[in-house]
Amino acid sequence: MARFVYRMQNILDIKYKLEAQARSDYAVAAAKLAEEEEKLAALYLRKRQYEQKKKELLEDRLNVMDLNLNKKAIDTMKSLIRDQSLQVHIAQRNLEEERKKLSEIMKDRKTHEKLKEHKFEEFKEELKAEESKEIDQLVSFKHNDTTEEE
């Protein structure tokens, strides 16, 4: 029996490998985004703690030096939060780019899989036609043999 061989199987295999790599890159970008968001959340928490400390300092006896240190700490946290928000935005953009790449690679792979399926269907039709032809020949040979014997 004939065996189906897809001529462009090596290209399809490469598409599978590219898709696996793109999935890996996407996962790395997603992990980076989660890490950056976690850092940002930690900075917001520290800022809230400094603001709470400021309230406590204002309720106690006023110590100008402690208040100034606390104000500088809050300002520093605001700056760090602004910088970290930028990092989160960059990580989000990178994740979106990786998602688009993955989507394109998946479309390309699916296209090649459809081509392979189409070629396989053509192969099956050719096999069916060939088998039908062989059956017709066998029937005609048997018919000819029986008519010659009579």
Amino acid making up residue 73: A
d(CA 66, CA 60): 11
Query: For 31-53, what is each residue's pLDDT tens digit?
Result: 999 999 999 999 999 999 999 99
The interaxial angle of helices 64-149 and 9-59, nearest 10 deg, is: 160
Residue 33 contacts by C-beta under 8 Å, 6 or more apart in sequence?
Answer: 88, 91, 92, 94, 95
Structure confidence at residue 113 (pLDDT):
95
Query: For 90-127, what is each residue's pLDDT tens digit?
Result: 999 999 999 999 999 999 999 999 999 999 999 999 99
Query: Would the pLDDT of 1 be above 70?
Result: no
Whether domain 9-109 has CATH 1.10.287.1700: yes
Rg (CA), the chain: 35
Structure confidence at residue 61 (pLDDT):
79
User: pTM to 2 decimals?
Assistant: 0.73
